[in-house]
Amino acid sequence: MPWSSRCQLVGRVDLLDAHAGQTGTGTDDDVWANSMGDGEAEELGPDRGESLGVDGVDRDALHHRVLGAIHRFSFAPHTRQYCGAWVLGSGPSCQHQSVRPPQLSIPFALELLAGRIEVTIAPSTAPESIGCPPWELGFPVCEAAVTTTARGYAALMGWVQLVAMRSPPATRFEWTADPLEIYGGLNTPFGFYGIAPTLFDAPSRRDRTRSLEWRAESYLCVAPSSPMTREALPVAAFSWGFTMANGEISIAEPHPIPLSTWTGHVQLLESEYPGWVFEIPTDA
């Protein structure tokens, strides 16, 4: 298959070498561009890139053209970085995660802080476009966006998420803290933290033949005494999840949950994150 029909823009010469059968950092299976269709991108290489790895190719000139194309196109909507290669596509096979209106809206208020959470959960329709591998197609994608009247440090908040799962023959759910993977080993309970932070999660399992029930409880928290203290007090919460059975994935709609559910997790959080104070809501 001609290179020009398989890839629209690959900005790593070592990956181009791999296509030509030479030593490179990627393989045909690794390079996401292999699955992309024709689009409106600059095609690179001699004779429209039919044979990039043969003798006689001016590699310096090729590299210069690649970098020039990246400079022009790297901020285009369809640009992605995957497996060490820059790829660009605008053809019909370049998929993007479908956008749905929020399914759940939860207002919150605490003293001078007020705002709203907009929650959307939908099956993954284009995993690569959200930074996930292709095999996560069909698994749930959860996004909870926060809007608030607060500004600056007063809008600092964090998402604490706990997950539980069970597979037959187990009958009990075992809850665990679920911080963002990059925070592993750090003494912080937050999966996302910042000024009006958005929660994003895309859980999955590679083995689709297994039976599994997966649940999550997600709590938007603030530090009540001062924005920079190690305190977490939930102001709003919701539950969501999915079930796998007989090769099918069923996604549970998000539902608001009472803040009293937080009390059942405090002992776990205190043991996992020493030095933190997990406040109990007054209405719990």
- Strand-pairing partners, residue 117, are 106, 146
Question: Helix H segments across the chain?
Answer: 3-6, 13-19, 59-73, 266-272
- Contacts (Cβ under 8 Å, ≥6 apart) of 78: 39, 88, 89, 90, 94
Distance CA 68, CA 135 (A): 33
The reported pLDDT for the residue numbered 183 is 86
Q: Which residue, 134, 126, 110, is CA-closest to 31?
A: 134
**pLDDT on residue 32:** 31
* Backbone phi, psi, residue 263, to 5°: -60, -30
Question: Quick one: pLDDT at residue 95?
Answer: 65
In this structure, what are the phi and psi dihedrals at residue 103, rounded to the nearest 5 degrees?
Answer: -95, -15
pLDDT number for residue 51:
37
- Contact 237/265 with Cβ under 8 angstroms? no
pLDDT attached to residue 93:
42
Name 249's bridge partners.
Answer: 244
**Amino acid 112: pLDDT:** 83
Residue tagged 């020493």 (tokens): 274
- State residue 98's pLDDT score: 63
Per-residue pLDDT of the chain (284 residues; tens, 9 = 90+): 433 333 333 333 333 333 334 334 443 333 333 333 334 333 333 443 333 443 454 545 544 443 443 333 333 333 333 222 223 333 334 467 667 777 899 999 998 899 999 999 999 999 999 999 999 999 999 999 999 999 999 999 999 999 999 988 888 889 999 988 888 889 999 999 999 999 999 999 999 999 999 999 999 999 999 999 999 999 999 999 999 999 999 999 999 999 999 999 999 999 999 999 999 998 76
Q: Cα–Cα distances in Å, from 2 out to 49, 183, 214, 229, 269? A: 8, 43, 44, 58, 55
pTM of the model: 0.66
The per-residue pLDDT for 284 is 66
**In the structure encoding, which two tokens stand for residue 182, read together?**
């990059």
